[in-house]
Copies of this chain bind each other. A is one copy, B any other.
């Protein structure tokens, strides 16, 4: 059985006439009779009562199969449309990774714009470290990733979607509290908290270098897998911290943010994807982000 059998049968069942149906189908009557006969033979039952001269009628099985055939063709149309929409990237799900520290930066804005432009698309956001995201991209668990450089794997395409400076986070009870920008030298003797290196080796090393030049050392808060934890430690008076500027949006009681006068590393945010055949959805998000950023 093929789909044209369904179409042919529906035409005959609706016209209740082989000649009329043949005309509607733009074919001649004999092959139509043959095709219907094939269909009846395969189904093992007569679908139409025909007697020359008198009106053709549906059998009980024919009435059932007419309903079924219509439903099947409708289902086929819907299936085709759904597939086409998916192919055009109008619907579907896309997995996007981001680090927990990006929750307050430019990434939410970029994603919000994409969501508005593509309401049919489900964004699946997964908080992961840069290293985890790289592995997930390779395993195809992620379609896209928002990472911090440097990337370990060279086989990725990237786009810079924003960069931000570092600011100082201090308790509001601290002598340096106030609106004044701060120099690194003023931190002499302070406990300067920072995150474990594996969370962002590139940023970590550049921070380390910047402070070493000023003769300062950093204290690594091993348990701080999220920058918010660092802020919490600052709030508790365990020290000060240097964090990306967007963290200032996390207005936390008892913590103030001060800009730093000395040269500090700049945190770049990269959108990363595999260089082989990104899905249409991924392409759309890349395009959306490129336009916005």
Inter-subunit contact A71/B75 (CB<8 Å) = yes
Size of chain A's interface in residues, with CB distance under 8 A? 37
Contact flags A50-64 to B (C-beta < 8 A → 1, else 0) = 010000000111001
**What's the least CB distance linking A115 to chain B, in Å?**
18
Query: Contact between B2 and A45 (Cβ–Cβ < 8 Å)?
Result: no
Could you say which residues of chain B place their CB within 8 Å of the CB of A82?
Answer: 64, 68
| Whole-angstrom CA separation of A71 from B79 in the bound complex | 9
A242 to chain B, nearest CB (A): 41
Q: Which of B4, B49, B69, B279 interacts with A59 by CB under 8 Å?
A: B279
Q: Is residue A292 within 8 Å, beta carbon to beta carbon, of the partner chain?
A: no
Q: Which residues 64-101 of A sit at the B interface, judged by CB distance below 8 A?
A: 64-65, 68-69, 71-72, 75-76, 78-80, 82-84, 86-88, 92
Cα(A2)–Cα(B82), bound, Å: 18
Q: Which of A76, A78, A277 has the most B CB atoms < 10 Å from its CB?
A: A76
B44, B72, B79: which contacts A65 (Cβ < 8 A)? B79
Q: CB-CB contacts of A112-142 with B at 8 A, as 1s and 0s?
A: 0000000000000000000000000000000
**Closest beta carbon of chain B to A142's beta carbon, Å:** 14
Tell whether, in the assembled complex, residue B71 and residue A83 are in contact, meaning their CB atoms are under 8 Å apart.
no
A43 within 8 A of B: yes
Residues of chain B contacted by A213 (CB below 8 angstroms)? none
Note all chain B residues with C-beta closer than 8 A to A21: none
Smallest CB-CB separation from A282: which chain B residue?
B60
A contact residues vs B (CB 8 Å cutoff): 1-4, 43-47, 49, 51, 59-61, 64-65, 68-69, 71-72, 75-76, 78-80, 82-84, 86-88, 92, 276-277, 279-281
Knowing that A43-B84, A60-B87, A68-B78 are A-B contacts, what are 16 other residue pairs whose CB atoms are under 8 Å apart, sorted by A's residue number?
A: A1-B80, A2-B3, A43-B80, A45-B83, A45-B86, A45-B87, A51-B276, A59-B279, A61-B83, A61-B87, A64-B82, A64-B83, A64-B86, A65-B79, A68-B79, A71-B75
